[in-house]
Structure 1
Amino acid sequence: MEFGILMGDQPVSSSPTQHLDLMLRKVEAAQRAGFTYLTLGQHFLYDGFRWLQPVPLLARLAAELDDHVRIGTTVLIGPVHHPVILAEELATLDIVTGGRLVVGIGTGYLPHEYETMGVPFGQRYRMLEEMIEVMTKLWSQDRVSHEGRFWRIDDLPTHVRPVQQPRPPIWLGAMRETGVRRAARHGDVWTITPQQTIGQVDALIRTYAAERTSRGLPLSPLPLRRELMIGADFDDAVSRFAAVARGKYEAYAGRGMTLLGDDEVRNFGDTVRDHVILGDAESCRQQIADIAAALPIGPLLVRPHWPGMDAEQTEAYLERVGREIVTPLRELQSRSFSDFLETSAA
């Protein structure tokens, strides 16, 4: 089993230089702890928290990568970008990383990001599908022609091609059945979001597999995002998790994330127990092993840092998870897709 981290936002009250230092120390600590995927998301004009933009930041972090470590976006807000600009920037980043880029892309959920960019929020899913088609052409062809609903290219040459051919792996984020089917059609894998229970994930993976199989597309293990907190026991782990994560859950609820309502935020322990890995180290290892035995997943992506945590806290988290989770589970194998599909739904 491979493990990765999600690198995110920081309160704007911290200085930009402190934020960059945190990212650099996080990358160093994660690699030292055995993590092999380092990923970063994206937002624009975000209230109270700073999201350093992923393409330039990942180019800087690429200089710190060990040879076996991959770097990626999880996730870019695709439709607010022009596909030619984004394709050339990502191809450049793939070159900078020596062909170790993963492109996680989705639609986001904040209307103001679209309104500010002059992009129709209601068209975001159609735009995402078309932009993946355009970028794939730009990455894999010498000349490109495209006549679509949103973009047109008239037989023009390409000049920046990624190292990985025909394209870097595309991880598509989605939370519901329609989005999962879209990920199956247009991406290389579906990135499983952290708010879903294992039962929900089981059903959606079957939907994903059916869509892929009907189109003759291959099936690969699916990246699984999961929050993780180790404590002395379950209650201690919940307390530790609430101390760092509760504010962010409340912020998500305030921004309209429907999976996190007011009642769920008030009853925080009940909210997180079905989709967060919590407990002592042995219990957390067993929970991960149980997930891997049930589902065709990998890598497992965790968040080592919540806004407000300092670099020392983040490094300590990564060191502990590396010692007590990553190293002991390095040889863990997830369930194969063929075995998963031979069994009935849970």
Structure 2
Amino acid sequence: MEFGILMGDQPVGSSPAEHLDLMLRKVEAAQRAGFTYLTIGQHFLYDGYRWFQPIPLLARLAAELDEHVKIGTTVLVGPVHHPVILGEELATLDVVTRGRLVVGIGTGYLPAEYEAMGVPFKQRYRLLEELIEVMSKLWSQERVTHRGRFWTIEDAPTHVHPIQQPRPPIWLGAMKETGVRRAARHGDVWTITPQQTVEQVKSLIELYAQERMSRGLELSPLPLRRELMIGADFDDAVTRFAAVARGKYEAYAGRGMTLLDGDAVRGEFASTVQDHVILGDPGQCRAQIARIAEELPIGPLLIRPHWPGMDAEQTAAYLDEVGREVVAPLRDLRPRSFADFLDSATV
């Protein structure tokens, strides 16, 4: 089983130089700990926290990669971009990484980002679908003609092609049934969000598989995002997780992330997170991951090693611990195959 990390934000009170150093230290520590996917998301005009823009940051981090490590966006806010600009930038990044790029993309959930870009939030899903269609043409064709709802290109030459053909893998983010079906149609895999329980995920994977199979499309293991905290025992892990994550959970709920209940996050934090966060001593955490892998066709497992406010030393220590207690012991774990999952499902 493969593991990856999500590299996120940092309070704007920290200096940009310190933030970049944190990212470089994180990449070094993650590779030392055995992680093979390094990813980062995207936000614009974000209040209180700094998000480095992923494409230029990943181009810098690519210089630090071991040969077997992949790098990716999880996820880009796709609809606010023009497909020609984004497509050429991502193709360039795939070349810079020597064909080791994963393109995670979605719609995001913040209307303010769309308003600032002059893009209609209500059209975000149609925009996303057409964006992927245009970029896929740009990546795989010598000349492109496209006449769509939002963009028109007439017999234009393409000059920047990715190394990976016909395109880099597209991981589509989604939280609900409609989005999961969209991921099945337009992406290569669906990236499972971290706030969903195993039971919720099971039913969505069945819908995803049904949509893929109806179109004769290949089924591949699904990247699973999960938060993870190791402690001396379960209660200690909850305490440690609350110390670093409660504020961010409250911010997510306050910004309208529909999978989180703000009152519950502010009140019974432990009961809010224990059904979707991997918590406990090292053995308990390994057992939880193994149970998920027994039930779901997943891979890689992506975790967040850093919460805003943690410094580079704390982040490196976290990655060293998870590498030693989770990644190395579970390296030979084989998640459930899609074929086996479907044999026992209702698809």
- What range is the shorter-chain TM-score in? over 0.9
Single out whichever of 264-273 and 67-76 deviates more from structure 2.
264-273
Q: Could you say which residue in structure 1 is the equivalent of 2:236?
A: 236
> Structure 1 stretches (4+) deviating beyond 3 angstroms?
none
Q: Could you say which residue in structure 2 is the equivalent of 1:33?
A: 33
| CA–CA separation in structure 2 for the residues paired with 1:302 and 1:206 | 24
Identity of aligned residues (%): 80
SS at match of 2:43: coil
Q: Could you say which residue in structure 2 is the equivalent of 1:320?
A: 321
Alignment of 1:149-298 (within 5 A): 149-265=149-265, 266-298=267-299
TM-score by length of 2: 0.99
Asked whether the equivalents of residues 99 and 164 of structure 2 are also in contact (C-alpha less than 8 Å), the reply is yes
Deviation string, structure 1 residues 228-252 (Cα, Å, up to 9, x no partner):
0000111100000000000000101
Distance apart, 1:253 and its partner CA? 1.1
| CA–CA separation in structure 1 for the residues paired with 2:22 and 2:273 | 27
**RMSD (Å), alpha carbons:** 0.8
For these two proteins, the number of residue pairs brought into alignment is 346
Aligned residue type for 1:257 = M
SS at match of 2:300: strand
| CA–CA separation in structure 1 for the residues paired with 2:157 and 2:346 | 48
Aligned residue type for 1:306 = W
Change in CA separation of 1:254 and 1:203 when aligned onto 2, cut-off 3 Å: same
Deviation string, structure 1 residues 214-268 (Cα, Å, up to 9, x no partner):
0000000000000000001111000000000000001011101122222211110
Q: Could you say which residue in structure 1 is the equivalent of 2:20?
A: 20
Q: Could you say which residue in structure 1 is the equivalent of 2:50?
A: 50
Distance apart, 1:345 and its partner CA? 5.4
Asked whether the equivalents of residues 253 and 262 of structure 2 are also in contact (C-alpha less than 8 Å), the reply is yes
| CA–CA separation in structure 1 for the residues paired with 2:278 and 2:171 | 23
| CA–CA separation in structure 1 for the residues paired with 2:253 and 2:298 | 28
Asked whether the equivalents of residues 193 and 224 of structure 1 are also in contact (C-alpha less than 8 Å), the reply is yes
1:332 equivalent in alignment to 2:333? yes
Aligned residue type for 1:80 = V
TM-score by length of 1: 0.99
Which segments of 5 or more consecutive residues in structure 2 lack a partner in the other structure?
none
Distance apart, 1:153 and its partner CA? 0.3
SS at match of 2:291: helix
Asked whether the equivalents of residues 94 and 168 of structure 2 are also in contact (C-alpha less than 8 Å), the reply is yes
1:103 equivalent in alignment to 2:99? no
Distance apart, 1:9 and its partner CA? 0.2
| CA–CA separation in structure 2 for the residues paired with 1:264 and 1:321 | 28
Deviation string, structure 1 residues 174-198 (Cα, Å, up to 9, x no partner):
0000000000000000000000000
Aligned residue type for 2:300 = P
Distance apart, 1:143 and its partner CA? 0.2
Asked whether the equivalents of residues 202 and 345 of structure 1 are also in contact (C-alpha less than 8 Å), the reply is no
Q: Could you say which residue in structure 1 is the equivalent of 2:128?
A: 128
| CA–CA separation in structure 1 for the residues paired with 2:262 and 2:73 | 30
| CA–CA separation in structure 1 for the residues paired with 2:345 and 2:226 | 24
Aligned residue type for 2:183 = A
